[in-house]
Structure 1
Amino acid sequence: MPELSRFFGIVVMMYARDHSPPHFHARYGEHEALIDIESTEVLRGTLPRRAMQMVEEWTELHRQDLRAAWDALSQGVVPAQIEPLD
């Protein structure tokens, strides 16, 4: 599972050939959530409120990069790293 970004203790990853809808995994400590790229809706799991707020902000900034990463993985290509949240 490629790591796409890491910021403030949050690790963002995607699995190759993962199920639709396009989403990513965000891990913070022992917490993990699957997050829809388009809506930023949590599909499964939980993150602490502050971590989720940072993930939402980061997603808004990098939605196009996340779409490109999803497309790359679906074609068997390792996606590019995505800039962390500053």
Structure 2
Amino acid sequence: MPTISMFYGILVSMYALDIEKHHAAHIHVRYNEFKVVLGIPEGEVLEGSLPARQMKLVQAWIELHRDELMADWLLASSGQTPYRIDPLR
């Protein structure tokens, strides 16, 4: 699972060919023992949870990088490795 971004202890990943379970564009986010799957481009929770503060940071990051996330999803859904995306600063 390629990590596409890391910031404030949050790891954001996107699996190649991960289209069977959720059927929609999404990212996997980990923070300590928490895991969440968020739909893109809107950032809706598909599965799991994060603490409120970290969720707000991830939502802000999604807002800033919506186009890049969708471009990465097109790569990943066709079996290619997604590009890294700048962290939230």
TM-score band (shorter)?
Answer: over 0.9
Per-residue deviation, residues 38-83 of structure 1 (Å, max 9, x unmatched): 2211100000000000000000000111101110112222111000
Q: Does the aligned pair in 1 maintain the 2:41–2:69 contact within 8 Å?
A: no
Q: Does 1:27 align with 2:45?
A: no
Q: Which amino acid aligns with 1:39?
A: E
- Whether contact under 8 Å (2:14, 2:82) holds in the other structure is no
Aligned position for 2:75: 72
| Unaligned 5+ runs, structure 2 | none
Aligned: 1:14 with 2:14: yes
Unmatched tracts of structure 1, length 5 or more: none
CA deviation after TM superposition for structure 1 residue 16, in Å: 1.1
Q: Which residue is equivalent to 1:3?
A: 3
TM-score normalised to structure 1 length:
0.96
Q: Which has the higher contact order (CA 8 A, sep 6+)?
A: 2
Give aligned pairs, total. 86
Which aligned segments of 4 or more residues in structure 1 are displaced greater than 2 angstroms? none
Identity of aligned residues (%): 47
- Determine which of 31, 36, 41 is the counterpart of 2:39: 36
TM-score normalised to the size of structure 2?
0.93
| CA RMSD across the alignment | 0.8
